[in-house]
Amino acid sequence: MNNTILTCKNLVAGYRIRSGFVHAVDDVSFELSKGELLGIAGESGCGKSTLAFAIMRLLKDNAVIEKGSIIFKDRDLASLPEEEVKKIRWVDISMVFQSAMNALNPVLSIGDQLLDAINAHRDVSQKEAFDRAIEVLKLVDIPEDRFNSYPHQLSGGMKQRVMIAMALILQPDLIIMDEPTTALDVVVQRTIIEKIQELRKMFGFSVIFITHDLSLLVEISDLLAIMYAGRIVEYGPAEALFNSPLHPYTKGLMNSFPSLTGPITRMGGIEGKPPDLLKPPEGCRFQPRCPKAMKICEKEYPQLKELQPKHLAACFLYTGADKSD
Ligand SMILES: Nc1ncnc2c1ncn2[C@@H]1O[C@H](COP(=O)(O)OP(=O)(O)OP(=O)(O)O)[C@@H](O)[C@H]1O
Ligand code: SF4
Ligand SMILES: [Mg+2]
C-alpha cells in the first residue's frame, strides 16, 4: 500500500530582489508518509521557512516557485491554481507559524477566532462549530472558560497551544510546524512537544517540524532532513542520521550540541558562515567551510544519493569522486 502523503521533487523557490534572485530553496526533494514526523534542521537563513511557505503556497509577493513539484495526495501544489489551493490550505494542510504568538488576532477572542476558522471552510450549524471549537481547545488542555479570552490574557505557552488548536480544527492530514516552541521556556516547550506527539498518535496526521534545535528533532522525528544553504544535504531515518551522520555539515552540527549522557565536552561547532544565497558558490555549497573538501567540490554539485538503506547524503566523499586532490 502506498502511504506517501507528500512528495517534494526538485523544488526550486526563492525571492526576486533588485540585485538578483535569492536561491532560498534549491533542488529540494523528499517524501513523507502518513503519520510520520519529518524534522528539518539547519542554520538560520538556510531556507526552512521558505520551503514551508512554498508547500502551503503562502509565499511572499516577491517569491516564486521556479521549478519542481509538491505532490500532495496526487495533486501538484506547485502548479495548482490558487482557487484549488484554497480548498486544501488549512483543510488538508495547516501550519503553525514561526511567530505564532503574534499570529493571533489581538482584537478577537480565541473562541471567535476558532469559530471563524471553522465557518470559513465548513457548512455547519452554530452549535456544531461551537462544540468543535471547545473540543479542540480541550485537546490542547485549554479549559472551556478560556473561550472568551483575548490573546493578551493568555501566557505564551497557552497562545501557542491555541495556534495548535487552530491548526487541528479542520482535521488536516499534514501540519507544518515552523519553530513552534522556540520562543518558549524549556519546561513549556517540553509540555507542548509532548502534546504534539500525543495528538499525532491519536489522530495519525503527518508533521513537518522545523527548528534549528537538532537535539530536539533527534528525539521526536521519524525522519530527519538537514538543510544547508537552500539544499537538503542529508536525509534519512532520524536514528541512523544521529548515530552515523554522513555529511560533513551534519557531523559539524552534531558536534555543536553537548551530549546529554556523555562526558561534558566543549561544543565543536562549524567555522565560518553560510554563503550568500544571492551568489551561492559553484559546486558544493558547503565547500568553503568543509574540512574534507576536495578539488571536485569546487566545481561540481553533489547529488543526494542513497548510501545506506533510506539514508541519503549529497557529498563526493561517498560517490567515488577523485579523492587524490
Ligand atoms: N522576503 C524576502 N525577500 C528576499 N529574501 C528573503 C525574503 N525572505 C527570506 N529571504 C532570504 O531567503 C533565505 C532563506 O530564508 P528563510 O526564512 O527561509 O530561512 P530559515 O531557514 O527559515 O531561517 P530562520 O532559521 O532564521 O527562520 C535567507 O537568505 C533570507 O535572507
Ligand atoms: S562534497 Fe566536498 S565540500 Fe561538499 S561536503 Fe562533501 S567533501 Fe565537503
Ligand atoms: Mg524560518
When computed from its CA atoms, the radius of gyration of the chain, rounded to whole angstroms, is 21
The reported pLDDT for the residue numbered 271 is 83
Ligand 2 centroid vs 300 CA: distance in angstroms?
10
User: Of 39, 7, 10, whose CA–CA distance to 25 is shortest?
Assistant: 10
User: Of 213, 239, 214, 236, whose CA–CA distance to 225 is shortest?
Assistant: 236
Residue nearest to atom 31 of ligand 1 (CA): 45
Residues 6+ apart with CB under 8 A from 3: 33, 34, 35
The reported pLDDT for the residue numbered 325 is 43
Ligand nearest to the CA of 286: 2
Residues in the chain: 325
The DSSP bridge partners found for residue 227 are 232
CB of 24 within 6 A of ligand 1: the answer is yes
The reported pLDDT for the residue numbered 270 is 82
The reported pLDDT for the residue numbered 268 is 54
The reported pLDDT for the residue numbered 101 is 63
* Distances, alpha carbon 175 to alpha carbons 92, 149, 209, 295, in Å: 8, 25, 8, 42
219, three cell numbers: 528525539
Residue with the three cell numbers 537552500? 230
Q: Are 299 and 312 in contact (CB under 8 A)?
A: no
Testing ligand 1's pocket by substitution, the residue of 28, 49, 51, 181 carrying the most ligand atoms inside 8 A of its CB is 49
Distance of CA 132 to the CA centre of its chain: 27
**What is the full DSSP assignment across 178-236?**
ESTTTTS-HHHHHHHHHHHHHHHHHH--EEEEE-S-HHHHHHH-SEEEEEETTEEEEEE
The reported pLDDT for the residue numbered 320 is 64
Task: Provide the whole-model pTM.
Answer: 0.93
Residues 6+ apart with CB under 8 A from 171: 203, 205
Spatial distance between the Cα atoms of 323 and 269, rounded to a whole number of angstroms: 25
Residue 53 Cα: closest atom of ligand 1: 18
Q: Are 289 and 272 in contact (CB under 8 A)?
A: yes
Spatial distance between the Cα atoms of 161 and 157, rounded to a whole number of angstroms: 6
The reported pLDDT for the residue numbered 181 is 85
280, three cell numbers: 551561492
Spatial distance between the Cα atoms of 175 and 63, rounded to a whole number of angstroms: 22
Three-state DSSP class for residue 271: coil
Encode the chain (325 residues) as per-residue pLDDT tens digits: 679 999 999 999 999 999 999 999 999 999 999 999 999 999 999 999 999 999 999 999 999 999 999 999 999 999 999 999 999 999 999 999 877 667 899 999 999 999 999 999 999 999 999 999 999 999 999 999 999 999 999 998 899 899 999 999 999 999 999 998 887 888 888 888 999 999 999 999 999 999 988 888 989 999 999 999 999 999 999 999 999 999 999 999 888 765 555 444 444 578 888 999 999 999 999 999 999 999 999 999 999 999 999 999 999 999 865 444 4
The reported pLDDT for the residue numbered 263 is 47
8, three cell numbers: 517534494
Three-state DSSP class for residue 93: strand
Complete domains list, the chain, with CATH: 4-92+172-318 (3.40.50.300)
Residue with the three cell numbers 555529511? 247
CB of 228 within 6 A of ligand 2: the answer is no
